[in-house]
Amino acid sequence: MSRTRKPAPKIARPAPSLADYAKGIRAGNRAVLARAITLVESSRADHQALAQALLTKLAPHTGGAIRVGISGAPGVGKSTLIDALGLYLVKRGHKVAVLAVDPTSLRSGGSILGDKTRMARLAAEENAYIRPSPAAGKLGGVARMTRETMLLCEAAGFDAVLIETVGAGQSETLVADMVDFFLVLVLPGAGDELQGLKKGMIELADMIAVTKADGENIARASAARAEYAAALHVLAEPHAHWKPGVAVVSAKEDTGLDALWKAIERHRMLLNERGLLAETRKAQSVRALWSHVDDALLSRLRAAPRVQALLPKIERAVAAGRLTPFLAAVRLLTAYEQRSARPRKIK
């Protein structure tokens, strides 16, 4: 008689407690940090509750990093520059965390795994931590996750946080609003390139860096520097405490990194001296509050049965021009506000 062996009972890994998470992160334990970031990225209510409790507990240990956003068109060299700059910083005793807000990963469900290979040198460093872009959810949600991941990294002792984002639309604004310094990368080249630099981008940029300034690109890079510098000069606010300049870098040859980082440090010193760093971060936190309110209200409104019932009719009416978009919005909001009251006929 053959006896089938019962499978060994699965021993579930005990979930760390709040205190375990906090202790592990404070000790710089990367496995615990990674697990905590997964909590932050989870949409499960119990994970969220634990994540928020953890963030509250760790709050006194956050804020210690220089937070830098790095943006620019696809292929401009963001990941390669982060690899080179990260290595530069690690060699100088910094602990570097790299995060990404990538709107394309939202569509493809992918991650910056490709970027990890672009950041191969940095990924191998003990004092560097590279976290791919969270793939789930809307951009607003990803921005929250990235902000909270940054805070966890700070509590784990990372003193430089570099956030990569594609220079397009909303993601750029979201990242600019969670960092101290926003760097916009541009390709070497003159004239035409300048047109690609949108006004909104200049308003966000604390500095522009011309990338790939090596080999045949060197002359073009210095021409680009002059053009961008002239453009920034025209657009700069006359009394601003910081005037954005133009750096020229090559991540391939590791040139220009020192000047770039010195500028970032100078900017931070200036902000600190005037008490502006704390002020900026406070204002960013309050804006983050409102962006959460915006997100949550909108999803509640969309999910409300009365709103859902009305929606097709209202959209048709707006599309056909029978109802102005403004009045349509008022009707939806009225329906939402009355969602718990007795149903009322809406004309």
Ligand X SMILES: Nc1nc2c(ncn2[C@@H]2O[C@H](COP(=O)(O)OP(=O)(O)OP(=O)(O)O)[C@@H](O)[C@H]2O)c(=O)[nH]1
User: Per residue in 39-53, is it b (16+ CB within 10 Å) or e — as a string?
Assistant: bbbbeeeeeeebbee
Indicate which single residue of 166, 175, 246, 332 sits in contact with ligand X (rule: CB under 6 A).
Answer: 166
Please say whether the dihedral angle defined by the alpha carbons of residues 131, 137, 140 and 144, taken in this order, is positive or negative. negative
What is the distance between the alpha carbons of residues 68 and 162, in angstroms, rounded to a whole number?
5
Residues 60-79, interacting with Mg ion (CB under 5 A): 78-79
CB-wise, 201 or 314, nearer to Mg ion?
A: 201
Does residue 74 bind ligand X (CB under 6 A)?
Answer: yes
* H helical segments located in the chain: 18-26, 30-41, 45-58, 78-91, 103-108, 113-118, 120-123, 139-155, 169-176, 192-196, 199-204, 218-235, 257-273, 276-303, 305-319, 325-337
CB-wise, 98 or 151, nearer to Mg ion?
A: 98
Q: Which does 149 bind (CB under 5 to 8 A by kind): ligand X, Mg ion, none?
A: none
CB-wise, 105 or 127, nearer to ligand X?
A: 105
What is the distance between the alpha carbons of residues 302 and 44, in angstroms, rounded to a whole number?
20
What is the distance between the alpha carbons of residues 264 and 131, in angstroms, rounded to a whole number?
22
Does residue 184 bind ligand X (CB under 6 A)?
Answer: no
Reading across the β-sheet that carries 181-186, which strands appear in turn?
Answer: 128-130, 96-101, 160-166, 66-72, 181-186, 207-210, 245-248
Per-residue mark of binding to ligand X, 107-136 (x: CB under 6 A) = --------x--x------------------
User: Which listed range, 124-132, 189-197, 245-253, 301-309, lies at the site for ligand X (CB under 6 A)?
Assistant: 245-253
What is the distance between the alpha carbons of residues 334 and 324, in angstroms, rounded to a whole number?
15
Identify the three-state secondary structure at position 98: strand
Does residue 252 bind ligand X (CB under 6 A)?
Answer: yes
CB-wise, 216 or 237, nearer to ligand X?
A: 216
Contact 133, 112 (CB under 8 A): yes
CB-wise, 78 or 95, nearer to Mg ion?
A: 78
User: Which listed range, 74-82, 170-178, 223-231, 304-312, lies at the site for ligand X (CB under 6 A)?
Assistant: 74-82
Does residue 251 bind ligand X (CB under 6 A)?
Answer: yes
User: Which listed range, 2-10, 11-19, 149-157, 247-255, lies at the site for ligand X (CB under 6 A)?
Assistant: 247-255
Does residue 79 bind ligand X (CB under 6 A)?
Answer: yes
Write out the H or E segment, with its range, that includes residue 97.
strand 96-101
Indicate which single residue of 41, 83, 115, 193 sits in contact with Mg ion (rule: CB under 5 A).
Answer: 115
Pick the closest to residue 31 from 116, 155, 129, 158 (CA basis): 129
Q: Which does 295 bind (CB under 5 to 8 A by kind): ligand X, Mg ion, none?
A: none
* 51 CB-side CA count, 13 A: 23
Q: Which does 214 bind (CB under 5 to 8 A by kind): ligand X, Mg ion, none?
A: ligand X
Contact 78, 70 (CB under 8 A): yes
Per-residue mark of binding to ligand X, 191-220 (x: CB under 6 A) = --------------------xx-x------
Least Cβ distance, residue 284 to Mg ion (angstroms): 24
Q: Which does 64 bind (CB under 5 to 8 A by kind): Mg ion, ligand X, none?
A: none
Contact 99, 131 (CB under 8 A): yes
Does residue 71 bind ligand X (CB under 6 A)?
Answer: no
Name the site residues for ligand X (rule: CB under 6 A): 72, 74-80, 115, 118, 166, 211-212, 214, 250-252
Name the site residues for Mg ion (rule: CB under 5 A): 78-79, 115
